[in-house]
Amino acid sequence: MRYFLYISYLGTKYHGWQIQDNAITVQEVVNKSLSTILREEIMVMGSGRTDTGVHATMQVVHFDTNSSLEPDQIVYKLNGLLPPDISANSIRKVTSEANTRFDALSRQYHYKIHQKKNPFLKGFSYQFPKTVDLDLMNEAAALLLKWEDFECFSRVKTEVNNFNCDIVEAVWQKGNDQLLFCVRANRFLRGMVRAMVGTLLDVGEHKISISDFQSILESRDRKKASRSAPAEGLYLNDIVYPDHIFTD
């Protein structure tokens, strides 16, 4: 039987999602916990990789098991074994071919910024005290919906067949002393959201004009874009799947 497991985690203590040599990752912890509970070797596959220090409000993983445990029992036992910074939220039975990575219709990331020092947001949001022009940032962000090739925001050394992404949402919101960037697409390149945020913040500070921003997109050159925003503000927030893969 194949299941989709919905989890959340704080990425602060982890070297990203994917298993690495000599570094603790979220995938490794989830694998070990599930294997202990189900008494068989479990290898989960996530909907996508998050980098070191990046958080997930929603990450979805799939795994196969022959266990007789009920889905709710798996979630309950898993939460008793996982560390405090990783939680199992729910589980759903899916078709045997369902895949959390390839069946995802869209993914949404949030990037959180606070503009005044706040000890309760340290590690969970990027402190950026400078004044920014939010209207100009949204004008630039709107260009992302009209673009296709995002090589300028991708890590230089990355193994992909192409740099094309279909962005359907890219908007900045402001509340009190906090900024939130919401972006949704069918796929994202490695480092893409943090590079976009860093560049859009430069637009907001009037370091980069709208024309400059479009030129960066046209360049397909990561060196033309701005520095990446820190990992602590980035959250994988939502993933959408087609209804037909669920069997429960």
Active site residues: 51
Label residues 83-114 b or e (16+ Cβ within 10 Å = b). eeebebeebbebeeebbbeebbebbbbbbbbb
The β-bridge partners of 107 are 185, 239
Residue 229 DSSP symbol: P
CA distances from 188 to 112, 142, 244 (A): 18, 17, 24
CA 109/CA 132 separation, integer angstroms:
21
Residue 30 burial (10 A CB sphere; 0-12, 13-18, 19+): buried
CA 217/CA 159 separation, integer angstroms:
20
Q: Is beta strand 55-64 parallel, antiparallel or unpaired with respect to 234-240? A: parallel
Quote the tokens at residue 142.
Answer: 């709107």
